[in-house]
Amino acid sequence: MIDLTSKTALITGSGRGIGKEIAVKLAAAGANVAISDIDLETAKATAAEIAGAYKIKTIAVAADASKAADVEKMFADTLEAFGGKLDILINNAGITRDGLLMRMKEEDWDLVLNINLKSAFLCCKEATRTMMKARSGKIINIASVVGLMGNAGQVNYSASKAGMIGLTKTLAREFASRSINVNAIAPGFIKTAMTDKLTDAEKEKLASGIPMAKLGEPVDVANAALFLSSALSDYITGQVITVDGGLVM
């Protein structure tokens, strides 16, 4: 059993969906968690739910993780709440604005790159200040299989996730000597609010291209994040773990 008692974690975009599931997994293992979301009420509800269920300390922080000032305040609030301690950062904030290249608006490119990739850059920069002093830390970037293989109609999203993978590998090299592990998780097609909008026929078509013949669950991604947050992954860095039912091999 993984024990994260006395550890502290900050998870961006964790008010709902995969981010929330990761927060639940870490809290169940004993970690105190900062729930960050652009929607403060959602973050507060999730923080209260998790604190009540697992008797750990949580805080809710409202932040647009693509803005430096918001990120600086988010980290200041988190460090203040948890006694200057941060052991785990999970960069999960992300959006989509899909469209074919010839029809994509420049603002949709900028928005996706800023929220998905710039946010990870800003958060990693803040987190490593604290982790370097402690000579310890786990950073996990939630990328995507489309960052590995591309996907028609998602040039902005694919580019942002490929960028996260490059960011992960570079930071792993920069901080390995300080015992800071930096890894990425690349989910495949996971059952979320996004896939809930698809018809049954569309879901079946997606599943047919997956060797395990089914969509994943948020908990599948959370389990990988739990492992990478723990001491079991201490000799693993710069890696991309695909959680995709065999879609990318």
pLDDT tens per residue, range 99-154: 999 999 999 999 999 999 999 999 999 999 999 999 999 999 999 999 999 999 99
**What does the pLDDT read at residue 203?**
85
Q: Is 157 a catalytic residue?
A: yes
Question: Class assignment of domain 8-186+219-243?
Answer: alpha beta
Mean pLDDT of 172-181: 98
The one catalytic residue among 157, 183, 216, 230 = 157
Mean pLDDT of 160-172: 98
pLDDT tens per residue, range 188-217: 999 987 778 778 888 888 899 999 999 999
Q: Which residues of 175-194 are buried (b: 16+ CB within 10 A; e: fewer)?
A: beeeebbbbbbbbbbbbbee
Tokens, residue 237 = 């860095």
**What does the pLDDT read at residue 202?**
84
**How far is the CA of 189 from the CAs of 18, 211, 212, 227, in angstroms?**
12, 12, 12, 20
**What does the pLDDT read at residue 138?**
98
- Rounded to whole angstroms, how far apart are CA atoms 24 and 50? 6
Tokens, residue 171 = 């930071």
**How far is the CA of 162 from the CAs of 124, 151, 159, 176, 240, in angstroms?**
16, 12, 5, 21, 11
Do 231 and 1 form a contact (C-beta atoms < 8 A)?
no
Question: What's the mean per-residue pLDDT of the chain?
Answer: 96
